[in-house]
Amino acid sequence: MSFLELSGVAKNYGPVAALAGVDLQVESGSRTAIVGPSGCGKTTLLRLIAGFEAPDRGRISLDGKELANGDAAVPAHRRGIGVVAQDGALFPHLSIADNIGFGIPRNADRRAEHIVELAYIVGLDKAVLKRRPHELSGGQQQRVALARAMAMKPRLMLLDEPFSALDTGLRASMRKAVAELLEEAGITTILVTHDQAEALSFASQVAVMREGLFSQVGTPRELYFQPRDRMVAEFLGDAIIVPARIADGFAASRLGRIAVDTKERRDVARIMLRPEQVLIKRTSREGMSGTPDMLFGEVTDCEFAGSVCTVAVRLLNSPDPPDAAAIGNTPLILRKTGMDAPAIGEIVRLTVTGKAH
């Protein structure tokens, strides 16, 4: 049995099925990320696990003990679960130090040092400890909420968009620091986020949610490279999806003959590649002659965004199309490092690497 188990958990708000019967297993000491579009039920799921609300149906067990069993349900404050809500929810009348130390008994050994340590870990300056929450920025308040939850040494930590008020650089470093800290303390964690890159980098298990149900649960690599459907594929990043005919571990498509991760034969299929699997090399119209097995295109757009650029390429040929119409007019959306951004109108050679799904 897993450390945390949800089975058939459902919750309605009037006519809205916020959760439509979800199953989830979370192993002890692991990190799970839940991602999905706004309103799909992520926060509701955390609230039910935390015990702020009761499910209409289903079971939630933690460390072998049923938590949500009608009248015998374990109340939120006795679940040993730490929650960091989106808005931090700090105690406005307490100092930052007392907010962080809320769960540490007043007479505990080294209480003050422990508070300073926790503040340091979440990147808060010692100088802010005397202040009140309203004297801190949104990002600083989120860090106080995190430190407070850590201080309580929960068995399970629920993080609802805890990094959302931080700017990009700080967000990445905080995420890493918090992940390491949770790992060291052996705290099982569930993170809710809108940010697909955050989910993939933070967690060992990612669950993509849609309309109150999980579309797919798996490792970050499984979800990114082997998404179950188009929604999962597109939610976790840009995807190139093209029609293909599959046989003997290869797909014939407008992109030529590409290795696929299935042995199944399918005459009418779609394959998916991530943009970074298609390498772009500059060439010229002359460079296209005498190489019928290579794939060429013309750059129709190039959007520079610093370290990367997004390049739209209209295919000029197709070495092995499943049918004559398959080359199509829709440009492929690819990526290149910003430094090598090609110009609009340039001819490029495309090479597919890795396997399609």
Which residues contact ligand ATP (rule: CB under 6 A)?
13, 16, 18, 36, 38-44, 194
In the chain, the DSSP E strands lie at 4-13, 16-26, 31-35, 57-62, 65-66, 81-84, 156-160, 188-193, 205-210, 213-218, 240-247, 250-253, 256-259, 266-273, 278-283, 295-304, 308-315, 332-337, 347-352
Min dist CB 39 to ligand ATP, Å, is 4
Name the residue nearer to ligand ATP (CB basis): 162 or 297: 162
Q: Please tell me the distance from the alpha carbon of residue 93 to that of residue 99, in angstroms, as a whole number.
A: 9
The token duo for 201 is 């980098």
Min dist CB 138 to ligand ATP, Å, is 16
Name the residue nearer to ligand ATP (CB basis): 81 or 124: 81
Contacts 24+ apart (CB under 8 A), 289-292: 292/317, 292/319
Name the residue nearer to ligand ATP (CB basis): 39 or 80: 39
Name the residue nearer to ligand ATP (CB basis): 65 or 194: 194
Look at the block and give the residue holding tokens 């809710």.
Answer: 192
Min dist CB 152 to ligand ATP, Å, is 23
Min dist CB 231 to ligand ATP, Å, is 14
In degrees rounded to 5, what are phi and psi of residue 310?
Answer: -100, 125
Name the residue nearer to ligand ATP (CB basis): 43 or 99: 43
Min dist CB 202 to ligand ATP, Å, is 16
